[in-house]
Amino acid sequence: MGGMEQVRPFLDELASSSPVPGGGSVAAVSAAMGAALLVMVCNLTVGRKRFSEVQDRAETLRDEAERLLARATELADEDAEAYARVAEAMTLPRSSDAEKGVRRERLQVALKGAAVPPLETMRVASEVARLSADLVTFGNPSAITDVGTASLLASAAYNAARLNVLINLDAIQDGAWSTRLRDNLGDIPDPERWNSQVQSGVQGAVGRG
SS (H, E, C) the chain: CHHHHHHHHHHHHHHCCCCCCCHHHHHHHHHHHHHHHHHHHHHCCCCCHHHHHHHHHHHHHHHHHHHHHHHHHHHHHHHHHHHHHHHHHHCCCCCCHHHHHHHHHHHHHHHHHHHHHHHHHHHHHHHHHHHHHHHCCCCCHHHHHHHHHHHHHHHHHHHHHHHHHHHHHHHCCCHHHHHHHHHHHHHCCCCHHHHHHHHHHHHHHHHHC
pLDDT value at residue 209: 45
182/187 Cα distance (integer angstroms):
9
Query: How many other β-carbons are positioned within 10 Å of the β-carbon of residue 55?
Result: 13
With 0-12 / 13-18 / 19 or more C-beta atoms within 10 angstroms meaning exposed / middle / buried, residue 43 is middle
What pLDDT shows up at residue 5? 84
CATH architecture classification, 20-203: Up-down Bundle (1.20)
Per-residue pLDDT 10s for the chain (209 aa) are 457 888 899 999 999 998 889 999 999 999 999 999 999 999 999 999 999 999 999 999 999 999 999 999 999 999 999 999 999 999 999 999 999 999 999 999 999 999 999 999 999 999 999 999 999 999 999 999 999 999 999 999 999 999 999 999 999 999 999 999 999 999 999 999 999 899 988 987 776 54
Domain ranges of the chain: 20-203
209: exposed, middle or buried (Cβ count in 10 Å: 0-12, 13-18, 19+): exposed
The whole model's pTM is what? 0.93
pLDDT value of residue 2: 59
Helix axes 192-208, 144-171, angle to 10 degrees: 160
